[in-house]
Amino acid sequence: MFYTRKCGEIEPSDFGSEQTLCGWLQDTRNLGGIAFIQLRDITGVIQLTLLKKKLGEEKFKSWTNINRESIVLVRGIIKENKEAPGDVEMLPDNLELLNEAETPLPLGVIDKIDSEIETRLNARYMDLRKKDIAANFQIRAAISGAVHKHLRREKFLEVQTPKIIASATEGGTSLFEMKYFDRTAYLAQSPQLYKQILMGGGLERVYEVGPAFRSEEHNTPRHLNEFISIDIEMSFADDDVVMGVMERLVDTVARAVAKETKTLETLGIKPIELELPLPRITYDEAVEMANGKVEWGEDLSMEATRVIAEEMNGFYFITKWPLSLKPFYIQPDEDPKYSKGFDFMYNEVEMTSGGQRVHNVDLLRKRLKEQGLDPEGFNHYLDPFRYGMPPHAGWGLGLDRLTMIFSGAKNIRECVLFPRDRNRLTP
């Protein structure tokens, strides 16, 4: 029997009863006539108290010599012990070794010495056994669940778009090229073009949570080459409307994470609280705030956003970006020098870009040419715009980066099970 009670689920009502537990043997402290074993599963740790007089010399020796991180099944009586973790202990009368771990371990689980992140990622299966690392993924799961629930509540339809595509999504060269039978194809850097095609299909409100790929040679704590993107597209909406969707979604996420009290306690952080509506500043105001760190018409550098963040502090939007800095599908503003594009920020970190899209096919062809792209290569994308494309808007938000913010992680690779950066293809 392997489906047993969980270590963290034992309650005072269980005192005096016999229970069966399975898990990892985390540590053993042998004091001669008595020994204490820490048994761990995903819910927590429970103390096993071994008495040599009760068990006999042979069992006592055998059980206390099992290697750390071995898998064991134990059966015994649950007792209250104010000096034990969680005020609970088990007095086992049976211990079965299910799978003994080799020694030495590739990575310590409860050791105080921190290992380099590359060492940890190489032995990710061990790294995930640490409660603070596992906590990141509890936060991630809470965020993902809240995202789906919220967007469905706002009447968005979940969709899945292709990740093998025929042409660049946003222009540029930041795509992974691949052989697709006798043709060249690419891994999608976003579902952008397909989201817009769906607006032409009359679906009106769609969202997708799925992988995206960018071949940029980043080497920062905030970037990965494979990531999970939360994307929405919405018909009969402008940039202001979808910014509203964004701030309501992030507020829902913040509330969901705040309910993960034990996880937040493990991470040693407090929940993030939002007050809606979130602040909005224009690009011009951002340039002024940057105090000479950036010239008008340039993208905002990290140095510039750090200065801006000192004043903004938290989540905020930067609106009315210069049209020259935005992709071809972003709608020009009434003043054609500007766009109806925005960035969503958390302090100095860019969380997402979005905006109202061009829905006029002639303007779209013009914008493609302005960015050095051949409209003929985008016919599959342009065709829906010829037959009644509604005004629409949307955005894409990285789930990994969102998890990084709400978990307090300093490196985005802490928030992805098996991250893919410019140097890592395994595990």
CB contact burial 27-44 (16+ within 10 A = b; e otherwise) = ebebeeeebbbbbbbeeb
Q: Tell me, yes or no, if 401 is annotated catalytic.
A: yes
Q: How far apart are CA 17 and CA 10, in angstroms?
A: 10
Angle between helices 399-407 and 239-258 (to 10 degrees): 50
Active-site pick, 154, 204, 216, 298: 216
DSSP class of 344: E
Active-site pick, 222, 306, 420, 424: 222
DSSP class of 338: B
Q: How far apart are CA 148 and CA 74, in angstroms?
A: 39
Active-site pick, 190, 229, 339, 353: 353
Active-site pick, 5, 129, 205, 223: 223
Name the residue with tokens 């590359």. 118
Q: How far apart are CA 90 and CA 21, in angstroms?
A: 10
Q: Tell me, yes or no, if 222 is annotated catalytic.
A: yes
Active-site pick, 140, 205, 392, 401: 401
Tokens read off for 317 = 């939007």
Name the residue with tokens 């494309």. 389
Name the residue with tokens 């009502």. 13
Q: Tell me, yes or no, if 235 is annotated catalytic.
A: no
Active-site pick, 150, 214, 357, 367: 214
Q: Tell me, yes or no, if 350 is annotated catalytic.
A: yes
DSSP for 376-419, written as a single string: GGGHHHHGGGGG-PPPEEEEEEEHHHHHHHHHT-SSGGGGSSS-
* 356: CB partners within 8 A, 6+ apart: 237, 238, 239, 242, 330, 331, 340, 341, 391, 392, 393
Q: Tell me, yes or no, if 288 is annotated catalytic.
A: no
CB under 8 A, 24+ apart: contacts of 48-54 = 48/74, 48/76, 48/89, 48/90, 48/91, 48/92, 48/95, 49/81, 49/84, 49/89, 49/90, 49/91, 50/92, 51/91, 54/91, 54/93
Q: Tell me, yes or no, if 96 is annotated catalytic.
A: no
Q: How far apart are CA 188 and CA 200, in angstroms?
A: 20
Q: Tell me, yes or no, if 153 is annotated catalytic.
A: no
Residue 4's DSSP bridge partners are: none
Active-site pick, 255, 350, 420, 424: 350
Give the catalytic positions in this structure: 214, 216, 222-223, 350, 353, 401
